[in-house]
Amino acid sequence: MGAMQPVVVQHPLAQCHLSAIRATDTPSHEFRKHLNLLARLIFSEASRELPLEEISVQTPLALTHGARLARPVIFVPILRAGLGLLDGILPLVPDATVAHIGIKRDEETALPHAYYANLPANLAAADVFLLDPMLATGGSASEAVRQLKEAGALRITMICVVSCPEGLAALERAHPDVPIVTAAIDAGLNEKCYIVPGLGDAGDRYFGT
């Protein structure tokens, strides 16, 4: 079976927020606002197939049918830029568990260096969403998925804002069973392995550093 095709969120509002965070003159506070809102739109698409279970709900007037998520949700931001996506998404699933994976890219070799992981015990029972704004070389995402699978995760979805063919190909090659949801597929990487046109360093811009 071949790799799944990435899902590109085409919602008009998503493209407006994406344009705002691409702009080099967008200040950090505006960058945060637009990234948070964009993250919600991307997650709305990524969570479209989450299973529900029926519950009964007592309204002020009558008993009616309702629904709740059938499985736990776990968000796993890749530190530190993934925290920017988490801030926007978490209010949609406030009872979700938040785990963390720390991976730093070596600027000389562009290879991922894993330095931290805090993962819960119930990964196998949950729908897991891996969060990282940029899918560039695909090295960090592939390593994070490897760690999640090793810890027991069975259902993992990658959420990113901007991706490129190189990163998509690398992640799909390493983990063809992992769906990828993104707001854009850009042209490619430059000689420093940054996505072009991209939006710069998402972590630096989000945290104002």
All structural domains of the chain with their residue ranges? 7-49+71-199+203-207
> Is 109 in the active site?
yes
- Checking if the pLDDT of 153 tops 80, the result is yes
Residue 98 neighbours by CB under 8 Å, 6+ apart:
74, 75, 76, 77, 86, 90
Q: Which of 64, 68, 173, 204 is catalytic?
A: 204
Q: Which of 71, 80, 105, 155 is catalytic?
A: 105
> Is 205 in the active site?
no
pLDDT per position as a tens digit, 2-35: 567 999 999 999 999 999 999 999 999 999 999 9
> Is 177 in the active site?
no
Q: What percent of the chain has pLDDT over 70?
A: 99
Look at strands 112-118 and 162-163 and give their pairing: unpaired
Long-range contacts of 86-90 (CB under 8 A, 24+ apart): 86/39, 86/131, 87/32, 87/36, 87/39, 88/35, 88/36, 88/37, 88/38, 88/39, 88/40, 88/43, 89/39, 89/40, 89/43, 89/129, 89/131, 89/159
> Is 97 in the active site?
no
Compute the radius of gyration of the chain from its Cα atoms: 17
Q: Which of 64, 109, 146, 177 is catalytic?
A: 109
Look at strands 97-98 and 112-118 and give their pairing: unpaired
pLDDT per position as a tens digit, 97-118: 999 999 987 777 778 889 999 9
Cα 95 to Cα 77: distance, rounded to the nearest angstrom: 16
**What is the sign of the dihedral through the CA atoms of 152, 156, 162 and 165?**
positive
Give the mean model confidence (pLDDT) for residues 169-174.
97
pTM above 0.75, yes or no: yes
Cα 25 to Cα 33: distance, rounded to the nearest angstrom: 14
Query: Which CATH architecture describes the domain 7-49+71-199+203-207?
Result: 3-Layer(aba) Sandwich (3.40)
